[in-house]
Every structure is written in C-alpha cells, then in structure tokens.
C-alpha cells in the first residue's frame, strides 16, 4: 500500500532481505506506517462531493423556488426527501449487496452519484428534480457505510480513529467550503451549474478511488450473508451506539439549525456578518472531527463520553456567549468543535463491534445520523413554536448530550462487565 509521502519513491520489494523480515512485505519502511495512505484522501474527496450535494439545497432555495414556481418551504422538501431516502435506502441496499466486493461497489456508487448530479442539473421540473435527488440519496447511505469500513481497513487498528476522522473530514469541508462555493456558482451562473460542478468532483473521486484504493480481500472472504449482517446488530455496543449518534445529533442540529436567527435576534449581529460566524463554526467542526479521531485511537470510550460531556458544557457557555458579538465567536467555535468530536469514536466503536460483518452496521450509521438531523430540526422548531424562545435553545444540546453520555457510559459498563466474565 502506498502512502502519501512515499507514492513516488516506493520501489519493488527487495530480494536481499532475510525470510521473516517484515520489510520484505512492505513497500515503505515500518517507521513510515503512521502516514495516511493516499487512497484515504480519495475517499475523503468522495465524501466531500456527496456531503456538498446533501447540503447545497439550502444555498439554492431562492433560485429553485423561482425556477420551478414553488414556495421556498416546498423547495425545502428536497432536503427532507433526501434525508428520508438516505435513512431508508442505505440499509436496504446494504442488505441486497452484502456479498458484493467492496471496491467495485464504491466505484460504482460514485459513478451513479455522478450520473445523478447530471440528472439534477438537467431536471426540467420540480418533481423530476425531486426524483433525481432521491435517486442520488439511496446510494448515499450505502456509500458512507462501505467507504467507512474501507477507510478503517486501510490502516492498522490503532490508527482507525484518525483514518475515519480524515474520511469524515470530507463532509466537514463540504459544509465549510463546498456549500458556500456551490452557492456562489449557483448565484453567478444558475443553480444547474452547481450540480454540474458537484458532478465533476464526483467523477474525479470515482477515478481516483478506482486507481488508488487497494482491491481488498477476495469476494468470498469479504462478502457476508444477510443473516450475518443482521446478526452483528445484536451487540449492545452497536445498537446503543446508534442511539448515542441520534441523540447527540438531535442536540447539535436542534441548535445549529437556528443559530443564524439566534445571532440576529439575540446577539444583535447584522445578517451580512453571520457567514463569518458560520465559517468559525465550520473551522471548529474540522478541529472537533480530527481531535475526536485522534482521541479515539488513544482511549476510545473515555474520549467518546468526554466529548459528549464537553458538548453539554459548550452549550452552557453558549447561554452566556449569545448576548455579545465577541463572546459569540467563542460560543460558535466551541459548539462546532464539540458538536462532532464524538462522531469518529462512535463510528469506530460500531465498526469494531460488528467486525464480522460491518458493512450493514456501518451503513446504519448514516441512517442514525440522518434521523438525528431530521429530528433535531423538528425539535428545535417545536421548541421555538411553543414559546420557549431562541434564548433557551442551548438547553437542547445540554439535555441530549448528557443523555447520550449516560447511554454511552452504560454501554461501556456492560462491555467491561462482559469482559470480566470467564469463558
């Protein structure tokens, strides 16, 4: 396997090494194994493209509404339908493709994604654009499931948290750079060109993954039956981790969905300056994902539980920070950092707990996340509509993250208790 700083210098294995010498089997010296393989960057680029297309609708809503003659809330259903298709389509396709080899599946899904962006760009009506979005979303969850397993398999076990963080970082960069850039393209040239641009990134990612990703194990070793895939869900480390993901994303999204109205109505920040605060939050998210990945490789469960508790503390800080434009910078940054710190540790735990047949379990991570995203936005809306107001919105992440931390602590306790029982 080639690594980023060795891909141009790695030569064939030497014949003068003694039998059993580990270097005989490695194209790079063992001391350089800490470097991430370049195939991981190709997977991250694919995650960037797919993450951008999921969130780009928010920046194109006015243009889509005017183009198709529908209201903005109706155009917003393109987001809801996409999330529902991800939540349902991913697990179903994971079961149907359980025995297919991983690399061809990833390349094929990226090819379908690229084709779907062309359908979106050419859609002559709102219903056909909706259909194209659902077509793309059905493969979204399956891609993140099998690609996360592929990313974890590219590195030694002790480096999986960092590898998953790098892979998930593509989604974060999509929010920080992809969505604003796509919105700018849509504003300048029309919304259809935003989808053409995303399709270009998808095509580049497909070609790079096809070139760089190792073929992996043979199909008969890598594939798993549907029964085996379902059996891996019985582990409490798996299903309780799904609950943790959903809960803390309800808290994170319950606040972040309405953070711009909080800035304008509570903090008193002019609308024109809110994008700068969002960029700060996006930078915090990048820091949080990578910090969470590193922490997961150090101590998995302590880092997961600590991240959830720190999210609750960051939300408490937000109660005070939201009343001043300067302190709001710190509040938005902390919410960005700890809002996603626990994602890589939780994902790593699920993949390792379901190691006999991880593809389906990993696909359900995207399902749990999208359910949390949908519920988070709804909970925030109900919170505001029932008169609790924008000032109390940080209470949602406080409550949800502490509850998620309690469930994670319970799961860890059950795991340790099982390990102490003699076989």
User: Contacts by 178-186 with C-beta closer than 8 Å and gap 24+?
Assistant: 178/48, 178/49, 178/51, 178/52, 178/55, 178/56, 179/52, 179/55, 179/56, 179/58, 179/59, 180/59, 180/275, 182/52, 182/56, 182/59, 182/60, 183/56, 183/59, 183/60, 186/56, 186/59, 186/60, 186/63
The dotted CATH code for 224-423 is 1.20.1250.20
Instruction: Work out whether the CA dihedral 335, 341, 343, 346 comes out positive or negative.
Output: negative
According to the model, what pLDDT value does residue 317 have? 96
Averaged pLDDT for residues 278-299: 83
More confident residue, 332 or 18: 332
Query: Exposure string (b/e) for 46-84, b if CB count within 10 Å is 16 or more?
Result: bbbbbbbbbbbbebbbebbbebbeeeeeebbbbbeebbb
Asked if 50 contacts 140 with a C-beta cutoff of 8 angstroms, the reply is: yes
The dotted CATH code for 37-223 is 1.20.1250.20
According to the model, what pLDDT value does residue 130 have? 92
Instruction: State pLDDT tens for residues 168-186.
Output: 777 767 766 777 777 778 8
Please, which residues bridge with residue 37 across strands?
3
Angle CA 116–118–119, to nearest 5: 65
Instruction: State pLDDT tens for residues 48-66.
Output: 898 888 877 766 777 888 8
Question: Cα(first)–Cα(last) distance of the chain, in Å?
Answer: 38
Instruction: Work out whether the CA dihedral 175, 179, 184, 187 comes out positive or negative.
Output: negative
- Where do the structural domains in the chain lie, given as residue ranges? 37-223, 224-423
pLDDT at 321 over 60: yes
Nearest-angstrom CA–CA distance, 397 and 423? 41
With 0-12 / 13-18 / 19 or more C-beta atoms within 10 angstroms meaning exposed / middle / buried, residue 277 is buried
With 0-12 / 13-18 / 19 or more C-beta atoms within 10 angstroms meaning exposed / middle / buried, residue 44 is buried
DSSP state of 154: T
Averaged pLDDT for residues 245-270: 86
Tokens of 82: 């996409």
pLDDT at 371 over 70: yes
Instruction: Work out whether the CA dihedral 22, 23, 27, 29 comes out positive or negative.
Output: positive
According to the model, what pLDDT value does residue 220 have? 40
Q: Do domains 37-223 and 224-423 have the same CATH topology?
A: yes
pLDDT at 319 over 60: yes
Please, which residues bridge with residue 185 across strands?
none
Nearest-angstrom CA–CA distance, 92 and 95? 5
Tokens of 68: 């198709």
Asked if 336 contacts 280 with a C-beta cutoff of 8 angstroms, the reply is: yes
Q: What is the pTM of this model?
A: 0.68
Query: For residue 397, what are the CA distances in angstroms to 280, 302, 380?
Result: 19, 20, 10
Residues 6 or more apart whose Cβ sits within 8 Å of residue 102? 146, 149, 150, 216, 222, 359
Task: Report the percent of the chain where pLDDT is more than 70.
Answer: 84
pLDDT at 231 over 60: yes
Instruction: State pLDDT tens for residues 130-146.
Output: 999 999 998 887 888 88
Instruction: State pLDDT tens for residues 4-16.
Output: 444 434 433 333 3
Instruction: State pLDDT tens for residues 81-133.
Output: 887 888 888 788 877 877 788 888 899 999 999 999 999 999 999 999 999 99
Q: Which backbone phi and psi does 26 adopt, to 5 degrees?
A: -125, 135
In the predicted model, what is the mean pLDDT of the chain?
A: 80
According to the model, what pLDDT value does residue 20 have? 39
Instruction: Work out whether the CA dihedral 58, 59, 65, 67 comes out positive or negative.
Output: negative
């Amino acid at each position: 396997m080639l690594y980023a700083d060795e891909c141009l210098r790695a030569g064939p294995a030497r014949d003068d090494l003694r039998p059993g010498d580990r270097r005989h089997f490695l194209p790079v010296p063992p001391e350089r194994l800490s470097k991430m393989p370049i195939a991981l960057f190709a997977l991250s680029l694919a995650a960037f493209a797919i993450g951008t297309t999921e969130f780009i609708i928010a920046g194109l809503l006015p243009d889509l509404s005017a183009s198709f003659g529908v209201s903005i809330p109706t155009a917003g259903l393109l987001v809801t339908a996409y999330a529902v298709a991800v939540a349902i389509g991913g697990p179903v396709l994971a079961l149907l493709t359980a025995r297919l080899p991983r690399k061809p599946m990833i390349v094929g899904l990226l090819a379908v994604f690229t084709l779907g962006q062309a359908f979106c760009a050419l859609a002559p009506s709102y219903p056909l654009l909706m259909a194209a979005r659902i077509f793309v979303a059905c493969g979204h969850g399956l891609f993140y499931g099998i690609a996360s397993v592929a990313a974890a398999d590219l590195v030694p076990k002790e480096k999986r948290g960092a590898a998953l963080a790098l892979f998930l970082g593509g989604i974060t960069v999509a929010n920080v750079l992809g969505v604003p850039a796509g919105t700018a393209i849509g504003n300048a040239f029309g919304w259809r060109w935003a989808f053409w641009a995303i399709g270009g990134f998808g095509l580049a990612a497909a070609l790079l993954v096809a070139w760089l990703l190792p073929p992996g194990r043979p199909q008969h070793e890598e594939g798993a039956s549907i029964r085996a895939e379902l059996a891996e869900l019985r582990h409490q480390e798996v299903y309780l981790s799904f609950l943790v993901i959903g809960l803390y994303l309800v808290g994170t999204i319950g606040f972040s969905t309405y953070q711009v109205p909080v800035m304008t109505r509570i903090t008193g920040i002019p609308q024109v300056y809110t994008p700068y605060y969002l960029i700060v939050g996006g930078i915090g998210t990048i820091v949080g994902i990578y910090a969470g990945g590193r922490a997961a490789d150090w101590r998995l469960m302590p880092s997961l539980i600590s991240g959830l508790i720190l999210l609750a503390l960051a939300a408490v800080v937000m109660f005070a920070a939201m009343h001043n434009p300067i302190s709001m910078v710190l509040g938005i940054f902390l919410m960005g950092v700890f809002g996603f710190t626990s994602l890589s540790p939780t994902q790593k735990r699920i993949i390792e707990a379901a190691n006999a047949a991880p593809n389906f379990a990993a696909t359900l991570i995207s399902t749990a996340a999208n359910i949390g995203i949908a519920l988070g936005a709804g909970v925030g809306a109900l919170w505001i509509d029932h008169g609790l107001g924008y000032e109390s919105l940080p209470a949602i992440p406080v409550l949800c993250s502490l509850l998620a931390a309690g469930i994670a602590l319970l799961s860890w306790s059950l795991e340790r208790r099982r390990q102490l029982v003699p076989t």
